[in-house]
Amino acid sequence: MKYAIIIDSSAALPEAFVKERSIKILPLNIIINGELTPDYTSEKELLKLYASGRINVKANIDTFPLTPEKMKKYFLEKLCPSTMLQSVSLSLKT
């Protein structure tokens, strides 16, 4: 049986830890001061983002999950590119 460990990027696990264990990371949508920002999971890219000064006490930062359509695309491209998948159904309850 094949399985995948999937977390969202807010877990902020070390890059080496994720690679060693083949963990898949669902990226969050991040908005910094009204601008959609890529959700970097690379330590190098995160350090550049922090060094840019965009993240500070005065910054207006918000996150939100992927839309069901983007999550389906992620699953199809990253988790099962060579597997036939009949359907992906997602439900977000608030």
CB distance 10 to 26 below 8 Å: no
Question: So what's the pLDDT on residue 91?
Answer: 54
What is the mean predicted confidence (pLDDT) over 38-66? 87
pLDDT digits (tens, 9 = 90+) for 3-42: 778 888 878 888 899 889 888 888 888 899 999 987 877 8
70, 73, 30, 67 alpha-carbon torsion, rounded to 10°: 20
Tokens standing for residue 7: 């977390």
Rounded to whole angstroms, the Cα distance separating 92 from 64 reads 12
pLDDT of 34 reads 93
Considering only residues 87 and 1, tell me which one the structure prediction assigns the higher pLDDT.
1
Q: 38 or 60: which carries more pLDDT confidence?
A: 60
- pLDDT at residue 74 in the model: 81
Residue with structure tokens 């669902």?
26
How far is the C-alpha of 15 from the C-alpha of 90, rounded, in Å?
27
Q: Would you state the pLDDT for residue 35?
A: 92
**Tens of pLDDT along 64-86?**
888 888 888 888 887 776 555 54
Q: What are phi and psi of 43, to 5 degrees?
A: -60, -40
Residue 48, C-beta contacts closer than 8 angstroms, at least 6 positions apart: none
